[in-house]
Structure 1
Amino acid sequence: MTQDTSVECPVTSDSGAATAGCPVSGGGYAELPEPLGPDSLTWKYFGQWTGMLQGPWAGAMQNMHPQLGAAVQQHSIFFLERMPRLFRSVYPIGGVVFDGDRAPRTGAQVRDYHIGIKGVDDQGRRYSALNPDVFYWAHATFFKSTLLAAEWLGGGLTEDQKRRLFDEHITWYRMYGMSMRPVPKTWEEFQEYWDHMCRNVLEDNWATREVLDLSSMPKHPSLEWMPDWLWRLNIGAMQRFFNFATVGLFDPPVRELLGYSWSPRQERLHRLFGQAVYFTTKALPKRVMMHPRKRSAWGRATGRLPADAPLVETPARNLPPVEYRDDPHYYSPKV
């Protein structure tokens, strides 16, 4: 059974904002796009639990955009609940890839969480989370993260596969109903775009440094049983590991901007770690490595689940603090 997603929608404004709840806009297409499916490379590489190893990289790269970093600093409660926020966000973000005919509606929900997030940063510069350039930058980091996952932890990619993933990332982005203006037209243009962003646009700012500093990260609600002294030891070990994993993924201009050094020996160790993860996970059942949203999508695609089975939502332990659960800026399903 296929869910009916037909709906009349207005054209987006110049700021890229669309009407709340509307899964499609006139900014990039005239009708609902075809979602990605199980034959895509994105379904293969995105939505794996190993992607959590790239969490600080993705957060830092996103926040280094001046407008996005300002929005996080002034509007987000991420640093009060890092782990629940990270774990629950993967559900709707993954759903834009894996929800099939329902993906445009999931994309619209993700987009609409950002309505009204705007202001002026510490340097007097205006920002808006629905500025098409800002919104696409966040998506570009998801695409780049997929490339890194495939190359670092997934056994590598051919040039043709990179081009295919690039084409798929455009299809993926259409699910948000945003203006397509900032999206590079070709794989070569994307590489130029990414290099330009790393060299000329990204900034070393408060939000980026906070993402990279795990020292104040609170426990996940499921870890309240852990003594504080043991949590501090755990955080210390996590900090050292993620410093190594994250700096190894940064482009050289980003490392230089943030003041990190990186030696040939560290590069070899980083590459060997990725290979070890690849061979370890290759020996495990594929379903074990899939995030629940992805696993349920494969179930629907292969007939293990009905085609109209309810979408898997985050468990209650990952919900935002009670006082934020009715705020339209937060993904907070009734679970």
Structure 2
Amino acid sequence: MEQRHPHARSGPAAGPPVPLGPDSLTWKYFGDWRGVLLAPWAGAMQNMHPGLGAGVAEHSRFFEERWQRLFRSLYPIGGVVYDGPRAAETARRVRGYHDTIKGVDEQGRPYHALDPDTFYWAHSTFFMLTLLVADRFGPGLSDGEKRQLFDEHVRWWRLYGMTMRPVPASWPEFQAYWDRMAREVLEDNRPARDVLDISLIARPPALSWMPYAAWRALRGPLARFTVWFTVGLFPEPVRERLGHRWTVRDERRLRRLGRIVHHAWRLVPFRYRYHPRARAGWEREAGLRAADAPQVESPVRNSPLPEEMDSPKHYVPPQAPDLR
């Protein structure tokens, strides 16, 4: 029998899971563009999980379309947080994309992307990404605010309709879970290392105006900075497993960078701080966007590779998306 989780609700009066709203800290930080800075961190942390890494190795073509996959995925994943009354429907679609991702890894271990422990690990990295954006590149978080973010990530998880079994019962228990995963479960594998290897990455869409020669010259220093930045956010056991050093000087430099990012970000107008799907949520709550307006979808330029368009594991943007 499944152990009852303190956040679980049951019975006819409980009703469906309650989506997060603009009063939540998750709304304040998850859809913030600063989160893109942590994309390599999230990708590496996720891929170091044995089941998740095996799924990426055998089913994903992420490394052939890094920018497209990143910016495409932000729409449905962000929608589980920002879609309000439609958030549970978005969550069901996101869950459905993972249904066919299963198999047996090189060591003979079966895996499935919808295994609750595997799916929760991915979810936990999004929670920690939100926390890191606020704590390391924002104003900082009190312990009470970290507990609030933890409680909100439980509400967020419930939208997927998954079992509560893998979810820690409290913020202290989550910290113990995170430490145990870093020390005992995560592995040094090829998918994780490939995330950190951006030495040959294509130009991002925002820099399409830049000559290729200029991008090639910039790419090397950018790759080195990205690895340094990402390593600084890893738990210490993960750094050690991947063979990286982190000094007191490195930590001071990263914290100084975090303060610079925080103060610079305060100068950015509110509406430009957020991803379009998140911005649509804020506008809906402010009465600037109709509740039944079409969802903001990824531009067609972020579509999957042509031969992957019919795969059930992909979110495929509509042919006439909202390009705001």
TM beyond 0.5: yes
Q: Secondary structure at the residue paired with 1:155? A: coil
After superposition, the C-alpha distances for 1:245-266 in whole angstroms (9 at most, x for unaligned) are 1011011111111110011111
The CA deviation at 1:220 is: 4.6
Query: What residue is the counterpart of 1:172 in the other structure?
Result: 156
Q: Secondary structure at the residue paired with 1:119? A: strand
TM-score, normalising length: structure 1: 0.89
Distance in 2 separating the partners of 1:315 and 1:238: 26
After superposition, the C-alpha distances for 1:22-52 in whole angstroms (9 at most, x for unaligned) are xxxxx98564211000001110111111111
The CA deviation at 1:240 is: 1.5
Out of 140, 145, 170, the residue aligned to residue 156 of structure 1 is 140
The CA deviation at 1:323 is: 1.9
Out of 296, 300, 305, the residue aligned to residue 284 of structure 2 is 300
Distance in 1 separating the partners of 2:196 and 2:24: 32
Alignment partner of 1:200 is 2:184: yes
After superposition, the C-alpha distances for 1:267-314 in whole angstroms (9 at most, x for unaligned) are 001001011010001122111111101111010001011111111110
* Identity among equivalent pairs (%): 56
Native 8 Å contact 1:42 1:146 kept in 2:
yes
Native 8 Å contact 1:28 1:180 kept in 2:
no
Distance in 2 separating the partners of 1:29 and 1:256: 43
In structure 2, the CA distance between the partners of 1:290 and 1:223, relative to structure 1 (3 Å rule), is closer
Query: What residue is the counterpart of 2:303 in the other structure?
Result: 319
Q: Secondary structure at the residue paired with 2:111? A: strand
Q: Secondary structure at the residue paired with 1:90? A: helix
1:106-145 maps to which residues of 2 (within 5 A)?
106-145=90-129
Distance in 2 separating the partners of 1:280 and 1:222: 19
One-letter code aligned to 1:182: P
The CA deviation at 1:64 is: 0.3
Native 8 Å contact 1:221 1:317 kept in 2:
no
Query: What residue is the counterpart of 1:21 in the other structure?
Result: none
One-letter code aligned to 2:124: A
Query: What residue is the counterpart of 1:65 in the other structure?
Result: 49
Native 8 Å contact 1:80 1:218 kept in 2:
no
1:1-335 maps to which residues of 2 (within 5 A)?
31-220=15-204, 226-335=210-319
The CA deviation at 1:179 is: 1.3
- The root-mean-square deviation of aligned C-alpha atoms, in Å, is 1.7
The CA deviation at 1:122 is: 1.0
The CA deviation at 1:125 is: 1.0
TM-score, normalising length: structure 2: 0.92
After superposition, the C-alpha distances for 1:189-209 in whole angstroms (9 at most, x for unaligned) are 100000000000000000000
After superposition, the C-alpha distances for 1:101-151 in whole angstroms (9 at most, x for unaligned) are 100010011110001111111111111101000000000000011110111
Distance in 1 separating the partners of 2:116 and 2:9: 11
Native 8 Å contact 2:100 2:312 kept in 1:
no
Distance in 2 separating the partners of 1:103 and 1:153: 27
In structure 2, the CA distance between the partners of 1:28 and 1:108, relative to structure 1 (3 Å rule), is farther
Distance in 1 separating the partners of 2:247 and 2:205: 38
The CA deviation at 1:225 is: 6.3
The CA deviation at 1:221 is: 6.2
Native 8 Å contact 1:47 1:290 kept in 2:
yes
Gaps of 5+ in 1: 1-13, 15-26
Distance in 2 separating the partners of 1:287 and 1:239: 29
In structure 2, the CA distance between the partners of 1:323 and 1:307, relative to structure 1 (3 Å rule), is same
Distance in 2 separating the partners of 1:280 and 1:223: 21
Q: Secondary structure at the residue paired with 1:127? A: strand
